[in-house]
């Protein structure tokens, strides 16, 4: 079984509960096609082991996603992305996932004591250099960053 490794990056100091981070990131990955309808997610225990958290924390995240019909959890079988995410929800989800990601980023930056101006400037600069790098070599494909 090709279980999605589901590369999630948790920040244990961010102040956001682990389960919220898991929910957000799975939503993001679905909204952007990294996860697709029908995909099987890792089992609660497998993902928990990978993330070094208790499997009930993952189960809680899965349950939240299940409640909004984004995934379908089936006892004894596994957890799957729902087949038909309502199309109008899809774009909304995508937008929300970027909102959540950005929110996390800005919140963290402010927590670190940076000003609005500094953050805005840094984002502009970074986006610009990123774009330049991508112009020469447009390969979104191999953008799977590896972690240990």
Partner DNA sequence: CTGTATATTGTACTAATTGTATCATTGTAT
Partner DNA sequence: ATACAATGATACAATTAGTACAATATACAG
**92 contributes a contact to a second copy by CB under 8 A:** no
Choice between 46 and 123, CB closer to DNA: 46
Question: Distances in Å between the alpha carbon of 23 and those of 15, 30, 63?
Answer: 15, 11, 9
Stretch that binds a second copy, among 46-54, 57-65, 96-104 (CB under 8 A): 96-104
* CA distance linking residue 46 with residue 53, whole number of Å: 10
The residue among 73 and 119 lying less far from DNA, judged by its C-beta, is: 73
66 in contact with DNA (CB under 7 A) = yes
- Are the C-beta atoms of residues 15 and 9 closer than 8 Å to each other? no
55 counts as binding a second copy under rule CB under 8 A: no
Binding piece for DNA, criterion CB under 7 A, among 44-52, 89-97, 102-110, 118-126: 44-52
In 3D space, the residue among 74, 78, 66 whose CA is nearest the CA of residue 22 turns out to be: 66
Q: How many residues bind DNA (CB under 7 A)?
A: 26
Give the binding range for DNA (CB under 7 A) out of 26-34, 41-49, 106-114, 123-131.
Answer: 41-49
Determine the Cα–Cα distance for residues 70 and 31; give it in Å rounded to an integer. 10
Check residue 6 for interaction with DNA (CB under 7 A): no
CA distances in angstroms from 18 to 59, 69, 76, listed in the order given: 11, 20, 24
Please report which residue ranges of the chain form alpha helices under DSSP H: 18-31, 44-51, 55-67, 87-111, 116-136
Which positions touch DNA (CB under 7 A)?
A: 17-20, 41, 43-46, 53-57, 59-60, 62-63, 66, 73-79
């Amino acid at each position: 079984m090709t279980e999605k490794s589901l590369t999630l990056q948790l920040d244990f100091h961010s102040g956001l509960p682990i389960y919220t981070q898991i929910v957000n990131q799975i939503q993001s990955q679905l909204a952007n096609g990294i996860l697709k309808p029908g995909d099987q997610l890792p089992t609660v225990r497998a993902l928990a082991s990978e993330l070094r958290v208790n499997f009930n924390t993952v189960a809680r995240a899965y349950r939240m996603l299940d409640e909004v019909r984004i995934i379908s959890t089936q006892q004894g079988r596994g957890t799957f992305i729902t087949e038909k995410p309502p199309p109008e929800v899809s774009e909304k989800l995508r937008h929300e996932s970027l909102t959540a990601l950005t929110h996390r980023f800005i919140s963290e930056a402010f927590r670190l004591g940076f000003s609005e101006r500094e953050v805005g400037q840094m984002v502009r600069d970074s986006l610009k250099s990123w774009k330049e790098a991508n112009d020469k070599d447009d390969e979104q494909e191999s953008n799977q960053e590896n972690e240990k």
